[in-house]
């Protein structure tokens, strides 16, 4: 229930939470124009938390744009958090649940070595999920330094059991459930198999159940999103990952008895030039009083203005078709860009931190190739006027795809529109391979293996994943051919198609099992053996020593009467050649023993609900 009149609410019993999501710190940080946008928006979010005097800040994932943020990005993030979240203001919320179970460590505002005024609670998203050795996330680094309380992290992907963070302020009790990003196909399967469990607190008490997750909300295909109907009953759900902001509570599609309200904060910075990113950006103030709540949208004032327009040239009065059609189209679009710039100027606020140059994107549908032109050259006309002159326009050929395929099914599809509408790298790659004619489609490599490897390479910066994926796939195909009775070229192609189909149709868990089973174990490094071969040489009665190995080419040495080092004879000058002795290893320095410093401890009593 949303309570509109909050005058009767006692401040001591009202829990105030600032909600934001998809900050994407470090997005385009090397761009001279847009590099500071994500940091400016994040600073405004935290400043709003101070102005609203909230009890805590709740982030719905993707605090960072990359799984391995740069040193500069981590420095600026730490600087902003310390500026706004540290201080002497007392925290008036009490944590009742097991801190180690929720956060793997003590919550930061109870740490005696830190002065936290506005605690941040965050899950991770698909951009800043754990990677590398030890599965460490960038949020783990902020957590160990005491700047962020990181919860909702999972290591067992076969069974998810969520234990809520139990908070209390006066008479208001909050059970906060967090589910960091899991691959949508995997999470959908876990929900279908009833392997996602939610622990319930003491039901004799009145708890406000709040769930925060980071998954696909919009329907992007079977098992590629999380339907609201599979979620348990909550009072409200904070949905991260989707960038279009719908900060007003939306009624869930469950039954009236089990329905809940969905809050979709959206991103604070435009990371793609799509129509959804052009919506106004918000964060929200959630106020909870016992069983009632109120959500207040907080428009962001420092977001770069963004205008998105769709133009169909066949519906515009450009003029008759003649030899100057290309020039007329460009002149027409220049006027439209100028109109968009004027429209963007109306979105400027009084905040001096707001970037000045706007983002403009025109999606153009054209009929004939004579209407197409060089977009990069066109954008140079607006240098200094827009923030994105190199990608002002996206050109899509206006045609009916179904009729085009019927007329010429073997013609390669136009991927321009697909690339603009793709939600992620995996969707773009799948759409690309599906659009190829049959003779150009992959016949050996699995599309699933490639898309998963490219995703890990782009999002997690795992530089070795592509080589390992291709090597494992190659070894699997070779093993299948050796085990089969295929002899002719047609039989070999059919066997390779069977291997490819098995990987493409496998679910995530089975796919990783098949690929990992084909991975070759790393062999121990072989010792280099250098044989010494003596070859007699009748010229000058000298002995020539040849050193050969797998690493060096076979070589011979010749000189003016001098023998090689390995020769036992003497040189013409009467000096014997001595063999070089292997130098003894340097002694290791003595181990330095210093007493360990005991960490500061604080005895706290917590009330555990079983």
CA-to-CA separations, 379 to 376, 389, 391, 551, in angstroms, rounded: 5, 5, 7, 53
Q: What is the pLDDT of residues 118-131, one digit of tens each?
A: 999 999 999 988 88
Contacts with 388 (C-beta within 8 Å, 6 or more apart), sequence order: 34, 273, 359, 360, 361, 379
Whether 492 has a pLDDT exceeding 60, the answer reads yes
Question: Beta strands of 31-156 (E only): which ranges?
Answer: 56-59, 94-95, 120-122, 149-150
Q: Catalytic residue numbers? A: 127
Are residues 80 and 45 in contact, defined by beta-carbon separation less than 8 angstroms? no
Average pLDDT on 555-571 reads: 45
Q: Which pLDDT value is given to residue 317?
A: 81
Whether 592 has a pLDDT exceeding 50, the answer reads no
pTM: predicted TM-score of the whole model, two decimal places = 0.68
Distance, in Å, from the CA atom of 269 to the CA atom of 192, rounded to the nearest integer, reads 34
The closest of 363, 376, 373 to 325, measured between CA atoms, is 373
Q: What is the pLDDT of residues 339-362, one digit of tens each?
A: 999 999 999 999 999 999 999 999
Q: Which pLDDT value is given to residue 540?
A: 44
The closest of 492, 452, 486, 491 to 472, measured between CA atoms, is 452
Q: Which pLDDT value is given to residue 398?
A: 78
Q: Which pLDDT value is given to residue 442?
A: 77
Bridge partners of 361, per DSSP, are: 308
Phi, psi of 313 (to 5 degrees): -65, -30
Instruction: Take residue 296 and report the two structure tokens written for it.
Output: 């207040």
Give 345-351's long-range contacts (Cβ < 8 A, gap of 24+): 345/305, 347/305, 347/307, 348/305, 349/301, 349/302, 350/301, 351/44, 351/301, 351/302
Instruction: Take residue 338 and report the two structure tokens written for it.
Output: 């100028």
SS3 state at 141? helix
- Higher confidence at residue 544 or residue 239? 239
Of all residues in the chain, the percent with pLDDT exceeding 70 is: 73
Whether 40 has a pLDDT exceeding 50, the answer reads yes
Residue ranges and CATH numbers for the domains of the chain are 11-299 (3.60.21.10), 306-397 (3.30.110.110), 423-518 (no CATH)
Q: What is the pLDDT of residues 314-325, one digit of tens each?
A: 888 876 656 688
CA-to-CA separations, 84 to 11, 51, 87, 116, 552, in angstroms, rounded: 22, 10, 8, 10, 61
């Amino acid at each position: 229930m949303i309570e509109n009149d909050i005058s009767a609410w006692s401040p001591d019993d009202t829990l105030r939470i600032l909600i934001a999501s998809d900050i994407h710190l470090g997005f385009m940080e090397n761009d001279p124009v847009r590099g500071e946008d994500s940091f400016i928006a994040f600073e405004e979010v935290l400043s709003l938390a101070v102005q609203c005097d909230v009890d805590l800040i709740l982030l719905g994932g993707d605090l960072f744009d990359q799984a391995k943020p740069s040193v500069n990005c981590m420095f600026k993030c730490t600087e902003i958090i310390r500026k706004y979240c540290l201080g002497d203001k007392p925290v008036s919320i009490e944590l009742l649940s097991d801190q180690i179970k929720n956060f793997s460590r003590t919550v930061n505002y109870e740490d005696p070595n830190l002065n936290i005024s506005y605690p941040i609670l965050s899950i991770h998203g698909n951009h800043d999920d754990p990677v590398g050795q030890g599965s460490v996330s960038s949020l783990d680094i902020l957590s160990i330094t005491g700047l962020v309380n990181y919860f909702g992290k999972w290591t067992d992907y076969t069974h998810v059991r969520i234990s809520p963070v139990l908070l209390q302020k006066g008479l208001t009790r909050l059970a906060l459930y967090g589910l960091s990003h899991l691959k949508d196909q995997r999470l959908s399967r876990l929900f279908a198999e009833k392997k996602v469990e939610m622990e319930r607190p003491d039901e004799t008490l009145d708890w406000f159940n709040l769930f925060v997750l980071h998954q696909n909300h919009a329907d992007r295909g079977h098992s590629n999103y999380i339907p609201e109907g599979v979620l348990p009953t909550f009072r409200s759900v904070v949905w991260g990952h989707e960038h279009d902001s719908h900060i007003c509570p939306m009624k869930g599609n469950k039954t009236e008895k089990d329905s809940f309200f969905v809050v979709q904060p959206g991103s604070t910075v435009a990371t793609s030039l799509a129509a959804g990113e052009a919506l106004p950006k918000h964060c929200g103030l959630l106020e909870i009083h016992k069983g009632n709540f109120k959500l207040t949208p907080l428009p962001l004032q420092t977001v770069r203005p963004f205008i998105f327009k769709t133009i169909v040239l066949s519906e515009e009065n450009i003029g008759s078709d003649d030899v100057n059609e290309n020039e007329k189209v460009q002149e027409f679009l220049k006027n439209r860009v100028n109109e968009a710039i004027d429209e963007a100027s109306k979105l400027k606020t009084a905040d001096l931190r707001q970037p000045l140059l706007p983002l403009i994107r025109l999606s153009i549908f054209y009929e004939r190739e004579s209407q197409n032109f060089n977009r990069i050259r066109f954008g140079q006309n607006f240098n200094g006027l827009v923030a994105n002159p190199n990608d002002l326009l996206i050109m899509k050929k206006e045609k009916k795809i179904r009729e085009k395929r019927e007329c010429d099914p073997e013609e390669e599809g136009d991927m321009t529109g697909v690339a603009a509408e793709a939600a992620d790298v995996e969707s773009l790659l799948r759409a690309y391979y599906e659009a190829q004619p049959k003779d150009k489609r992959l016949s050996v490599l699995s599309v699933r293996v490639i898309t998963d490897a490219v995703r890990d390479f782009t999002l997690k910066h795992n530089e070795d994943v592509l080589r390992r994926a291709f090597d494992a796939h190659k070894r699997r195909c070779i093993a299948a051919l050796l085990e089969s009775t295929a002899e002719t070229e047609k039989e070999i192609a059919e066997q390779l198609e069977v291997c490819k189909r098995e990987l493409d149709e496998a679910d995530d868990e089975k796919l990783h099992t098949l690929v990992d089973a084909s991975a070759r174990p790393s062999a121990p490094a072989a010792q280099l053996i250098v044989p010494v071969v003596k070859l007699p040489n009748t010229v000058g009665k000298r002995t020539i020593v040849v050193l050969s190995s797998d690493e060096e080419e076979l070589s011979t040495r010749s000189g003016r009467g001098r023998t090689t080092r390995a020769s036992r004879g003497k040189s013409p000058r009467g000096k014997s050649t001595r063999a070089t002795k292997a130098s003894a290893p340097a002694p290791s320095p003595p181990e330095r023993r210093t007493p360990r410093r005991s960490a500061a401890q604080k005895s706290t009593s917590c009330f555990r609900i079983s």
